[in-house]
Amino acid sequence: MSKTKTKFYCQQCGYESPKWLGKCPGCEAWNTFVEEVETVSKSRGSHTSITNKKEKAISIIDIESSEEARIVTRNKELNRVLGGGLVPGSLILVGGDPGIGKSTLLLQTSHELTAQMLKVLYISGEESVRQTKLRADRLQAVSPLLFVLSETNVEFIEAAIEEVQPDFIVIDSIQTVYHPAVASAPGSVSQVRECTGHFMRIAKVKGIATVLVGHVTKEGAIAGPRLLEHMVDCVLYFEGERHHSYRVLRAVKNRFGSTNEIGIFEMRESGLVEVDNPSELFLSERPLGVAGSTVVASMEGTRPVLVELQALISTTNFPSPRRMATGYDHNRLSLIIAVLEKRMGMFLQNQDAYLNVAGGVKLDEPAVDLAVAVSIASSFRDQPTQPFDVVFGEVGLTGEVRGVSRVDQRVREAQKLGFKRVIMPQKSLKGWTPPKGIEIIGVQTVAEALSAALV
């Protein structure tokens, strides 16, 4: 006999409630509760057959510590983001906008793993096997060790895994897969939670590296319950603009490596190609001697990246000026403008402010603040910046420039690309020796930075 229960789940965070609520107590989102019918039966417990073995608790001293054996792919950028390669038995979640290149990247990675004589099972719930074959032909990712399956039933997928015995599994996507013991529709909170837990048990018990592809919402977060990101070992976001050929793979969670690591790719007709020197690529079309253009040295994980910031300040006739930012936090932009108005005496209340990070990269660290202030002041005063300057530093509300971390790596990256001067916080000059051939200018306030940077 099966027992039917009706519950309401928040589609944003997975909060469970016996009745409908207008506002979610968990994530405080409005109108996100959806009614779902749960059917609890004996068949639902069938998935526990994988883990019949009873484990005993042991002392942590008796556990042998050894590094995880990794599967190193031929893609250096992917290895960097994962922390050195794929860990057998790990569960990885990859999210991104539709058409950004998630399936392309995973199909190329699958082909590269087959070159190491590893079996790969690619399961697509959105495309037929013929459509997957067409993409594989275009990417030249055809191998006898690459097995393709178009299926959405978890039980049938598990049977295929038992038959193929793969070393690497791709589920594209987790929102299309369903468990027949759960009465709700595919993509619902119950189905996503149940299917993810099922694949997690398969990955851990059998030691198979598994990748789940997740859809994203209009806000850019992975769709489904927030619990989904807590269950997996690694969460990767695939970022980029449709009109740009560059893609950024960013790790926001990684149990086997550092977080906030990025890998940069270029989308071509033959697929995704890794970019070895992203700074040189992002600065290849930079104009020299133009007001509002500044180069900033940002740290993305363990890698320094030089990116161009472009600001445009123009007079508006409307009572409330616009503040627009692409690739930078909008609230942080308003804060920098307020500091320039109060501490530098710039009258920006009747000016529209536009800020753009060239190349489609998203910068979120505080060390970008000083370069943003220099770009805005340069455009407002119509004074160009020095063409071979690199600027970085955190700006406080009193107009001071605060110190940042990993200064030596930023300076060496600027020197490698031929820049002559670096404008940075005075407090960050201690504890390291600047390289020869590049001038270091330490500043304590935004006023000092503007006097040194503007021509």
- Distance (Å, whole) CA 378 – CA 430: 29
Contact 8/20 with Cβ under 8 angstroms?
yes
- Distance (Å, whole) CA 131 – CA 134: 5
Q: Are strands 401-402 and 394-395 parallel, antiparallel or unpaired?
A: antiparallel
Binding site annotation covers 102?
A: yes
Binding site annotation covers 233?
A: no
- Distance (Å, whole) CA 144 – CA 285: 43
Binding site annotation covers 63?
A: no
CA 179 to mean position of chain CA atoms: 29
Q: In this structure, how many other beta carbons lie within 10 angstroms of the beta carbon of residue 400?
A: 18
Residue in 214, 225, 221 with CA at minimum distance from that of residue 24: 225
What torsion, rounded to 10 degrees, do the Cα atoms 325, 326, 327, 330 define? 20
Binding site annotation covers 97?
A: yes
Binding site annotation covers 284?
A: no
The amino acid that residue 160 corresponds to is: A
Q: Which residues contact 169 (CB under 8 A, 6 or more apart)?
A: 120, 121, 123, 161, 199, 203, 208, 209, 210, 211
Binding site annotation covers 99?
A: yes
Encode burial over 197-235: b for 16+ CB neighbours within 10 A, e otherwise. ebbbbbbbebebbbbbbbbbeeeeebbbbeebbebbbbb
The amino acid that residue 140 corresponds to is: Q
Contact 177/154 with Cβ under 8 angstroms?
yes
- Distance (Å, whole) CA 235 – CA 218: 18
Instruction: Dump the DSSP string for 280-332.
Output: HHHTTTPPSS-TTEEEEEEEETTEEEEEEEEEEEEE-SSSS--EEEESS-HHH
- Distance (Å, whole) CA 232 – CA 262: 19
The structure tokens 């992917």 sit at 78
Per 3-state DSSP, what percentage of the chain is helix, strand, and coil (rounded to 5)?
30, 30, 40
Which residues carry a binding-site annotation?
A: 96-103
Which residues carry a binding-site annotation for ATP?
A: 96-103
